[in-house]
């Protein structure tokens, strides 16, 4: 039996001697590589946080002490150590482990996460709650250096420092460029700065010096500058935190001893650890972006890997790639075009643009609110800003979208990726609400392409429109089409008739058109590609209402407040008496599964759409017969 198989909870871990912990770390890495080779999932961040997860559970009495992870990509070792080792192969799959920490899954998951930069705010809430209740539970918030770039993290640090809250923040810094700070000297300083002797001397010395104001000010500045010379902690000290580090996040002895010291100190503490993303797997260490998330069969050292058969099908471009190519083409023609992203360069398909137009590319880090207002500033001075952002992350900048862009009617184009159901990342990353929240905003044009060519045309339409515009498109590939050269602007607010039928008209928005056409063939129904969510093609809607008994709306967005409700309002305003069937994402958060399983569970697969329409029509026909019989 391996040492990892003996650990079914942190309590088992805490029974081991300190000398056994490196063996545990090695076993966790081997287990992650083998398991994710079969299942896929987030790899690099977790490999880098193995020792940190071990040390935190070893020193603190979890789950009595609350451990809060930020984002959650790095929490796989945490899941392995907290009784979920045998289920790791199910992660991101339907009915399997959640991709991120989740309160409903385990008492060790103190706070559910998925978006970045929330752990310090949440941890402060935990700490203050324990204080109110007179409890002595410890609270530890783990945050990555990327997540620390968001304003929310600094707002929480500032508040915690001001309140002198008992909160430990662990900054997991995996930026390779500052690894030179790691070594014997910095580890020595970390142990000194976290020791009881230093803490007591620091406090007593300050108490004495405060009685002599000029000397106290000189001493304070001297200490500040001395610490600033040996550690990059002055900023955190100014915000009220006792800064400790940087320390080697893969040195378990130093980690454990430092955390044991810090555990006894009251007030806000920040421990700065330096780790390597992908630690222990050389390909991931060399290319942390590529190995951030992996598919099955990535681990070439595994004897179980079978080379996939070559497909005879042509490779289809993803919507992200379509956007990236369009961006470069338009930038070559439009010198005022600038592109902005909140740390989504690779995911949004902007790598080529960043290389070809570096002075017109702005990655603002994980700061969605800033990205939108930055674009507003650009637009005020006759530039043409394009904000590339995921649907779920645009939610974080809703106020800026309304007040800084739409209220001033500024021409900012939002290229909204990952709209709709995204698969294994689950409810925190699903783009379920963008049509609902965008169509409520005045001055907005909102478009949803049905395929790659339409996506390019809509992006051009939005760029040329002299107002705020959004194009929302799904993750991955669309229907197989021959890509057109270039792109053209579409008539704003005009739908396209795709199929003429009778009795039933299916009004499809965006990516649902392919399924809508399949259903249309089965039912001999009319199918319309609506294209624009705002403004709606009301003339087309009214025409369809006059020619058909049933109006079906189809969208990969929440039914509540979605495009279908816009159609309903139009029909109501025109006193239509059609039977209306709205099909979209139901009014609940959709759990992680494959994209196909998610569509099926939401009733958005072609077969489920067909069944829903048939049942509604059959029910209405029966009711009509009953009503006629009763009247006779």
- Give the tens place of pLDDT for each residue, 369-396: 999 999 999 999 999 999 999 999 999 9
Residues of CATH 3.40.50.920 domain(s) within the chain?
A: 496-631
Instruction: Write the secondary structure of 179-230 as one string of H (helix), E (strand) and C (coil).
Output: HHHCCHHHHHHHHHHHCHHHHHHHHHHHHHHCCCHHHHHHHHHHHHHHHHHH
Contact predicate 91/99, CB 8 Å: yes
How far apart (Å, rounded) are the C-alpha atoms in residues 348 and 371? Answer: 14
- Provide mean pLDDT across the span 258-275: 94
Which residue shows structure tokens 């048939």? 614
Of the segments 2-6, 95-99, 423-427, 503-507, which one has the largest average pLDDT value? 503-507
| Token digits of residue 610 | 């067909």
Read off the pLDDT band of 129 (50, 70, 90): very high
- Tens-place pLDDT, residues 314-366: 567 899 999 999 999 999 999 999 999 998 899 899 999 999 999 999 999 88
- Exactly one of 102, 279, 396, 418 is catalytic; name it: 396
Contact predicate 473/323, CB 8 Å: yes
Contact predicate 468/444, CB 8 Å: yes
**Looking at residue 496, what is its pLDDT?**
98
β-bridge pairing 293-294 and 337-341: unpaired
Read off the pLDDT band of 204 (50, 70, 90): low
**Looking at residue 308, what is its pLDDT?**
41
Give catalytic status of residue 626 as yes or no.
Answer: no
Whole-number average pLDDT of the chain: 88
Residues of CATH 3.40.50.970 domain(s) within the chain?
A: 4-294, 319-472
Angle at 209 between CA 204 and CA 214, to 5 degrees: 165
How far apart (Å, rounded) are the C-alpha atoms in residues 575 and 620? Answer: 19
**Looking at residue 497, what is its pLDDT?**
98
- Exactly one of 277, 456, 475, 531 is catalytic; name it: 277
DSSP 8-state code for residue 339:
E
Give catalytic status of residue 475 as yes or no.
Answer: no
Distances (CA, A) of 225 to 171, 220, 236, 310, 621: 21, 9, 13, 61, 82
4-294 is classed in which CATH architecture? 3-Layer(aba) Sandwich (3.40)
**Region 496-631: CATH code:** 3.40.50.920
Model confidence, pTM: 0.82
Decide: helix, strand or coil at residue 158.
helix
Q: Is the pLDDT of residue 294 over 80?
A: yes
Give catalytic status of residue 277 as yes or no.
Answer: yes
Of the candidate ranges 61-75, 139-153, 384-398, the one whose mean pLDDT is the lowest: 139-153
Distances (CA, A) of 220 to 165, 233, 326, 544, 595: 22, 14, 55, 75, 57
319-472 is classed in which CATH architecture? 3-Layer(aba) Sandwich (3.40)
How far apart (Å, rounded) are the C-alpha atoms in residues 113 and 278? Answer: 21
How far apart (Å, rounded) are the C-alpha atoms in residues 188 and 195? Answer: 11
Q: Give the alpha-carbon dihedral of 601, 607, 611, 617, to 10 degrees.
A: 120
- Exactly one of 51, 237, 368, 555 is catalytic; name it: 368
């Amino acid at each position: 039996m391996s040492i990892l198989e003996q650990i079914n909870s942190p309590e088992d871990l805490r029974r081991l001697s300190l000398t056994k912990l490196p063996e545990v770390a090695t076993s966790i890495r081997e287990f992650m590589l083998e398991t994710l080779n079969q299942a896929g999932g987030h790899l690099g961040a977790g490999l880098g946080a193995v020792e940190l997860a071990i040390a935190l559970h070893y020193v603190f009495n979890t789950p009595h002490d609350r451990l809060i992870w930020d984002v959650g990509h790095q929490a796989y070792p945490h899941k392995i150590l907290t009784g979920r080792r045998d289920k790791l192969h199910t992660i991101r799959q339907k009915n399997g482990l959640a991709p991120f920490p989740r309160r409903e899954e385990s008492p060790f998951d103190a706070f559910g996460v998925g978006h970045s930069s929330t752990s310090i705010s949440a941890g402060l809430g935990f700490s203050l709650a324990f204080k109110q209740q007179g409890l002595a539970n410890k609270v530890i918030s783990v945050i990555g250096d990327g997540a620390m770039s968001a304003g929310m993290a600094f707002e929480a640090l500032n508040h915690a420092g001001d309140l002198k809250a008992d909160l430990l923040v662990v900054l997991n810094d995996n930026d390779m460029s500052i690894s030179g700070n790691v070594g014997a000297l910095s580890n020595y300083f970390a142990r000194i700065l976290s020791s009881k002797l230093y803490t007591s001397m620091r406090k007593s010395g300050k108490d004495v010096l405060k009685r002599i104001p000029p000397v106290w000010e000189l001493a304070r500045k001297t200490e500040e500058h001395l610490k600033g010379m040996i550690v990059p902690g002055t900023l955190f000290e100014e915000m009220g935190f006792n800064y400790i580090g940087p320390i080697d996040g893969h040195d378990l002895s130093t980690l454990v001893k430092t955390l044991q010291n810090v555990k006894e100190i009251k007030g806000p503490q920040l421990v700065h650890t330096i780790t390597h993303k992908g630690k222990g797997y050389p390909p991931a260490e060399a290319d942390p972006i590529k190995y951030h998330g992996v598919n099955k069969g990535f681990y070439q050292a595994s004897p179980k890997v079978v080379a996939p058969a070559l497909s005879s099908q042509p490779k289809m471009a993803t919507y992200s790639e379509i956007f990236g190519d369009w961006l470069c083409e338009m930038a070559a023609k439009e010198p005022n075009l600038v592109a902005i992203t909140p740390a989504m360069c690779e995911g949004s398909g902007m790598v080529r643009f960043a290389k070809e137009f570096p002075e017109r590319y702005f990655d603002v880090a994980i700061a969605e609110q800033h990205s939108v207002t930055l674009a507003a500033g650009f637009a005020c001075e006759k530039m043409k800003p394009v904000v590339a952002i995921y649907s779920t992350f645009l939610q974080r900048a809703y106020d800026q979208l309304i007040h800084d862009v739409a209220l001033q009617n500024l021409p900012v184009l939002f290229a909204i990726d990952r709209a709709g159901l995204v698969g294994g990342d689950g409810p925190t990353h699903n783009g379920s609400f963008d049509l609902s929240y965008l169509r409520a905003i005045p001055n907005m044009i909102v478009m949803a392409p049905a395929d790659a060519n339409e996506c390019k045309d809509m992006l051009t339409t939005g760029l040329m429109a002299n107002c705020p515009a959004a194009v929302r498109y799904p993750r991955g590939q669309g229907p197989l089409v021959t890509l057109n050269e270039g792109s053209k602007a579409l008539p704003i607010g005009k739908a396209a008739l795709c199929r003429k039928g009778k009795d039933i008209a299916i009004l499809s928005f965006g990516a649902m058109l392919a399924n809508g056409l399949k259903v249309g063939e089965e039912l001999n129904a009319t199918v319309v590609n609506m294209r624009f969510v705002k403004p709606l093609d009301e003339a087309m809607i009214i025409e369809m209402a006059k020619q058909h008994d049933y109006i079906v709306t189809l969208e990969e967005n929440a039914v509540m407040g979605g495009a279908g409700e816009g159609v309903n309002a139009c029909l109501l305003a025109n006193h239509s008496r059609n039977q209306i069937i709205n099909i979209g994402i139901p009014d609940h958060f959709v759990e992680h599964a494959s994209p196909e399983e998610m569509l099926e569970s939401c009733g958005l697969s072609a077969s489920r759409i067909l069944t829903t329409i048939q049942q509604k029509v059959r029910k209405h026909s029966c009711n009509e017969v009953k009503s006629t019989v009763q009247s006779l």
